[in-house]
Amino acid sequence: MARTKDPDPEVRRRILDVSLDLFATKGFAATGVQEIVTKAGVTKGALYHYFKSKDEILFEIYGRVFGHELESLQRIVAEGHDPVRTLRTIIVDLVSHTAAITKESAVFARGGHADSPHWQAMQEQWRRYQEGFRQVIRDGQDAGVFSSKASPEVASWSVFGFTNSMHTWYRPEGRKSPADIGEELADLILTGLQS
């Protein structure tokens, strides 16, 4: 559809926010475009003005999450600290960010859409994040601070599994802050890597 020159960022944001709520609670497949436009208080024409499809909305949500995580990891690595401090900082950052985006995490945990062209781009960002995380572990192994027996893949999947499930158990009003939880997870992972 043709797009006008003066889009309303408030309408676009409202469509994204409503979609995020619905995808997190009902799932992507169970959410219809009509439901999105009704809850957002817009027309289908308005939705299609900002997004070509429901898939495009989903992948904008994914893209914001993956983009933030990849930028954070690259920034932390660029600080040039030793592998132990770098990995700890990455883990605490990932846990803290995941705690702040539990709805997005719930959408992500419900699964991807491998048949969508957008999914391939998201998968590439995700692979880059995984590889960057694992490279920090390999750097620690090369420096002799992490055991050469430790698997960067197992360590990383332990962290990713933990954070990917946070939307099911993390509560902001809980006893521990996201940073405290991140530090505890980092302690567990680092202890395993240094054994």
Clarify whether residues 30 and 95 are in a common domain.
no
Give, in order, the Cα–Cα distances in Å from 93 to each of 3, 7, 75, 143: 38, 34, 11, 23
Q: What confidence score (pLDDT) does residue 114 get?
A: 54
Which residue, 92, 59, 77, 55, is CA-closest to 133? 77
pLDDT of residue 105: 86
- Domain count across the chain: 2
- Domain C-terminal end among 36, 51, 66: 51
Q: What is the CATH number of the domain that holds 34?
A: 1.10.10.60
Q: Are both 170 and 90 inside the same structural domain?
A: yes
- Structural domain harbouring 93: 54-194
Q: How many of the other CB atoms lie within 10 Å of CB of 190?
A: 20
114 and 18 in a single domain? The answer is no
Whether 61 and 134 share a structural domain: yes
Does residue 172 sit in the same domain as residue 82?
Answer: yes
User: What is the residue-level pLDDT of the chain in tens, covering all 195 positions?
Assistant: 445 455 678 999 999 999 999 999 998 889 999 999 999 999 999 999 999 989 899 988 888 888 899 999 999 999 999 999 999 999 999 999 999 998 888 887 776 565 667 777 778 888 999 999 999 999 999 999 999 999 999 999 999 999 989 989 999 999 999 999 999 999 999 999 998
The reply to whether 79 and 32 lie within a common domain is no
Q: Which residues contact 62 (CB under 8 A, 6 or more apart)?
A: 107, 108, 112, 118, 122
**pLDDT attached to residue 29:** 87
CATH number for position 106: 1.10.357.10
